[in-house]
Amino acid sequence: MECQGPAHSSTVRADFGAYSPPGSTRKRHIRFAAHHDILLLREVIHHNPFWVREFGQVWAAVAERMSSALQSEGFEVDGRRCRERTALLLDYYKRHNYAMLRRGGTEAMYMEKEDLLQKILELESEKREVGSDPRHRDTLCVTVTEETLRRAQEEAAIPPVIESKLEDNNMAERAARKQECEGCCGAYARILQHLERRAEAEQRLREEELALRREELQLQRERAALERERQEAERKERERRFELEREERQVILEILREKMIK
């Protein structure tokens, strides 16, 4: 069920009420930066104004927490401003207006903002399931007035000072990390080159040792072969001498036998 706003306003669905506490005073116009949006969406999820009867008090608590956390920046908002800003961000998200969601923040901020908006939509969806209950009908839509849209357009036209500073800081941080990484990479490259040279030297040493070992084994085989040849030659020499001695004895016996016969 959609609630219709006044004729001079446009309406978007968002389940956190159009209530503004009686007698509340509007804070001076504060421009939301990307990190403000993230803090706002975190507080909305934390307080979950969709399931309470006194949702105006919840939005006031959201505004109080934000103003306290951003006191050093002089950032001060009321519940109505927080409610309208949340409705506007949800409208951007539902209409896939990612350019406005990305504006002024880093890629990490944009991704976190998308995650937070998706969680808020889930809370809104859970609330919509009980939308037929008359007690909840007045909390099912928020009117985003032309004033809110005008402020958003003005913010889009204003140079993003805070976001630019954040982006500059992030760029400087990335540059520092890059330099540090390059230094580390250079050191790692030198270490790697040293290790590669050492490994190559060790490999050459092992190859030389293997070559020497092969030569030693070859020499041992050659010495063994020579030893076998020497032993074979000695054996043959002993056999030859034995044969000569046997022949000599045979001749002597023949001579003695002839003399005895005579």
Q: Is residue 72 part of a domain?
A: yes
Contacting residues for 35 by C-beta, under 8 A, at least 6 apart:
105, 109, 162, 166
Tell me, yes or no, whether 73 lies in a domain.
yes
In a domain, 170, yes or no: no
- H helix intervals, 98-160: 98-102, 107-128, 146-157
What is the rounded CA–CA span in Å between residue 200 and residue 183? 25
Is 215 among the domain residues? no
Considering only residues 156 and 237, tell me which one the structure prediction assigns the higher pLDDT.
237
Question: Which residue, chain included where needed, has tokens 């005579």?
Answer: 262
Pairwise CA distance, residues 8 & 2, whole Å? 16
Residue with tokens 């519940």: 79
Residue type, 240: R
What would you report as the CA-atom Rg of the chain, rounded to the nearest whole angstrom?
49
What's the domain range around 51? 10-158
What crossing angle do the helices spanning 34-47 and 107-128 adopt, rounded to 10°? 30
Averaged pLDDT score across all residues of the chain: 76
pLDDT in tens, 88-101: 999 999 998 888 88
User: pLDDT tens-digit profile of 212-229?
Assistant: 999 999 999 999 999 999
114 contacts 41 by C-beta, under 8 angstroms: no
Q: How far apart are CA 164 and CA 167, in angstroms?
A: 5
Tokens 């927080």 identify what position?
Answer: 82
Whether residue 152 lies inside any domain: the answer is yes
**Is the model more confident about 15 or about 92?**
92
Q: Is residue 252 a part of any domain in this protein?
A: no
Q: Which residues, listed in sequence order, are joined to residue 142 by a DSSP beta bridge?
A: 12
Q: What pLDDT does residue 172 have?
A: 65
Say if 32 falls within a structural domain.
yes
> Which residue, 42, 113, 40, is CA-closest to 81?
40
Whether 181 is in a domain gets the answer no
Using CA atoms, how far apart are residues 146 and 6, in angstroms rounded to an integer?
10
Domain count, the chain: 1
Average the pLDDT over 53-61 and give the result: 82
pTM higher than the cut 0.75: no
Higher pLDDT, 155 or 70: 70
